[in-house]
A and B are shown apart, each in its own frame.
Chain A
Amino acid sequence: DTGVSQDPRHKITKRGQNVTFRCDPISEHNRLYWYRQTLGQGPEFLTYFQNEAQLEKSRLLSDRFSAERPKGSFSTLEIQRTEQGDSAMYLCASSPPFWATNEKLFFGSGTQLSVL
């Protein structure tokens, strides 16, 4: 158990529907990341939060994607008007502050999205 929780584990939706995923990082981690992974590929960066501030956002994150971390704790990733190309594993990761001696990333188990 890595300590990073993601919900749901699986989501099946119809094209055009909106979906929202949740990530609860390890409590003392102020940095939170969203990645997307398709079969046979390494994860691709989507966005990064430090506390509640969204500091980086990939150009992969189109206008249909929005992420929030309102209180600097849990984060949500919403996809509006889903498309079949959005089908992927959505991974959340967290890490402690940069001054921590161990800056390893801790990943959640991911949310597998299937858009029909």
Chain B
Amino acid sequence: KNEVEQSPQNLTAQEGEFITINCSYSVGISALHWLQQHPGGGIVSLFMLSSGKKKHGRLIATINIQEKHSSLHITASHPRDSAVYICAVGRETSGSRLTFGEGTQLTVNP
């Protein structure tokens, strides 16, 4: 079992839909990151959070430390949101390295 698991693996939505991507982890963490990866490899950091909730534009990230679970929400989705969304955790016991989930491929159709 991976230490970081994301669901779903693939998600197809229609433009305007509300999207939720989930991340569960099994280790103690110091922080959780949500990242966006576009075709060709470019990775952009969306959020780093260790508690509560953060919002940036149409993106909202939440984390529940007790349940070891985080969600990334996209409101009013748009085709340009199509990308792979990756959850990564910084483990309490492993210094600064991140352990990544396998990613969620999101496709938003017009």
Per-position binary interface string of chain B over residues 45-68, scored 1 when its CB falls under 8 Å from any chain A CB and 0 otherwise: 100100000000000000000000
Contact (Cβ within 8 A) A105 B33 = yes
The residue of chain B having its C-beta at the shortest distance from the C-beta of A1 within the complex is B42
Count of chain A residues with a beta carbon within 8 Å of a chain B beta carbon: 28
For A42, list chain B residues within 8 Å (CB).
4, 86, 88, 100-103
Per-position binary interface string of chain B over residues 25-41, scored 1 when its CB falls under 8 Å from any chain A CB and 0 otherwise: 00000010101000011
Contact (Cβ within 8 A) B45 A107 = yes
Instruction: Give bound CA distance, A109 to B102, whole Å.
Output: 18
Out of A44, A56, A112, name the residue touching B41 (CB < 8 Å): A112
For A110, list chain B residues within 8 Å (CB).
41-42
The residue of chain A having its C-beta at the shortest distance from the C-beta of B9 within the complex is A40
- Chain A interface residues toward B at CB < 8 A: 2, 31, 33, 35, 37, 40-45, 48, 50, 55-56, 58, 89, 91, 93, 102-107, 109-110, 112
- Chain B interface residues toward A at CB < 8 A: 4, 31, 33, 35, 40-45, 48, 86, 88, 94-103
Q: Can you list 17 A-B pairs, Cβ within 8 angstroms, ordered by A?
A: A35-B100, A37-B41, A42-B4, A42-B86, A42-B88, A42-B100, A42-B102, A43-B43, A48-B96, A48-B97, A56-B94, A56-B97, A58-B97, A91-B41, A91-B43, A93-B43, A105-B35
